[in-house]
Amino acid sequence: MNMISPLPVAAPPADSVDIPAYSASGNECALFEKAWEKRLPLLLKGPTGSGKTRFVAHMAARLGLPLFTVACHDDLSAADLTGRHLLKGGETVWVDGPLTRAVREGGLCYLDEIVEARKDVAVVLHPLTDDRRILPLERTGELLSAPPSFMLAVSYNPGYQNLLKNLKPSTRQRFVSITFDFLPRDQEIVVVAQESGLDEGAVAPLVDLARRLRSLKGQDIEEGVSTRLIVYAASLVAAGLPRPEAVMAAIIEPLTDEPEVRAGLIEISRAALG
């Protein structure tokens, strides 16, 4: 059996079976819908664990769009997005990449941490993000026009930006943009309780501790505690692990390797949780 399908077929969207829960903290849902309606590409900025990926999954499901998510990295090139020729039975066969599939199917393509990708990615994004909305596939000689329902969303974390890895203004000024931050306290407690199965009363002190640790960002720790880590801690407590051990393994250890910083965080944690 050969696993390469000769031609891309309409596969069920990767993660659209249910509408993933999403707890909005501002006008982001309206902005996303307006941008989609006006066929404008969208840039999501914000720290790790502030819910960008979840938000995109939520909106894709809500608008009924097939979602194609790509986590960008140092070696991700334009061909990884558009597609490649593969050899089969002595013939070369074209296999669509996720961006091409999103264009063909009129779906939502989400490129997570776009600044990590190689520079040639800009080539395929530029004609898709101006009024032409086209995707030229030079290797196959095709020129795809994006259907009205197609949308491109990208994200990046401004905290990582450096001189080498940055969005050029010529790319950046092609996107409507929005900044994400952590959820407000009460909303975050509800979300963590839902995800972990721990009751809200037991979750609240964990959220409060995380919020206190977030205020240390830039001093001793590189990045604030993500909502995901609070969910991890609550899950371990729900599974029967003593709370101090759960906080140690799911919140403190992931934040730092420095013995002094770790001691300080344990101190703060003890003071906060009693």
Chain residues 127-166 in contact with a copy of itself, contact rule CB under 8 A: 127, 130-132, 134, 136, 138-143, 157-158, 160-161
User: Which position among 55, 150, 175, 182 is part of the footprint of a copy of itself (CB under 8 A)?
Assistant: 175
Task: Pick between residue 45 and residue 269 the one whose CB is nearest to a copy of itself.
Answer: 45
Cβ of residue 205: shortest distance to a copy of itself, in angstroms? 19
| Of 2, 17, 219, 260, the one binding a copy of itself by CB under 8 A | 2
Torsion angle, alpha carbons of 219, 182, 19, 5, to 10: -30
Cβ contacts of 43 within 8 Å, gap of 6 or more: 153, 154, 155, 156, 172, 175, 176, 177, 178
Q: Which helix (H) or strand (E) holds 246?
A: helix 243-247
Joined tokens for residue 137: 């596939």
Nearer to a copy of itself by C-beta: 17 or 274? 17
Nearest to a copy of itself of 204, 249 (CB atom): 249
- The DSSP symbol for 250 reads I
Considering only residues 30-69, where is the footprint of a copy of itself by CB under 8 A?
30-31, 34-35, 37-38, 40, 43, 45, 48-49, 53, 69
Going by C-alpha positions, the residue among 231, 224, 225, 212 that lies closest to residue 272 is 212
Contact 269, 251 (CB under 8 A): yes
Contact, 70 vs 98, CB < 8 A?
yes
How far are the Cα atoms of 4, 16, 76, 78, 204 from residue 9, in angstroms, in the given order?
11, 17, 23, 21, 47
Least distance in Å: CB of 160 to a copy of itself? 7
What are the tokens at 98? Answer: 């996720």
217: DSSP letter: B
Segment 199 to 218, residues that bind a copy of itself, using CB under 8 A: none
Q: Which CB sits closer to a copy of itself, 189 or 221? A: 221
Which residue in 186, 199, 200, 222 binds a copy of itself (CB under 8 A)? 222
Using DSSP, state whether 75 is helix, strand or coil.
coil
Scanning 59-67, 71-79, 146-154, 265-273 for contacts with a copy of itself by CB under 8 A, the matching segment is: 71-79
Other beta carbons less than 10 A from residue 133's beta carbon: 18
Q: Based on the shown chain and the rule CB under 8 A, indicate whether residue 263 belongs to the binding site for a copy of itself.
A: no
Nearer to a copy of itself, 74 or 260 (CB): 74
CB 114, min distance to a copy of itself, A: 13
Q: 239: helix, coil or strand?
A: coil
Tokens representing residue 230 in the block:
């609070």
Residues 80-119: x where in contact with a copy of itself by CB under 8 A, - otherwise, as a string:
x----xxxxxxxxxxx-xx-------------xx--x-xx
- For tokens 């491109």, what's the residue? 152
Q: How far is the CB of 64 from a copy of itself (least distance, A)?
A: 19
As measured in angstroms, the least distance from the Cβ of 167 to a copy of itself is 9
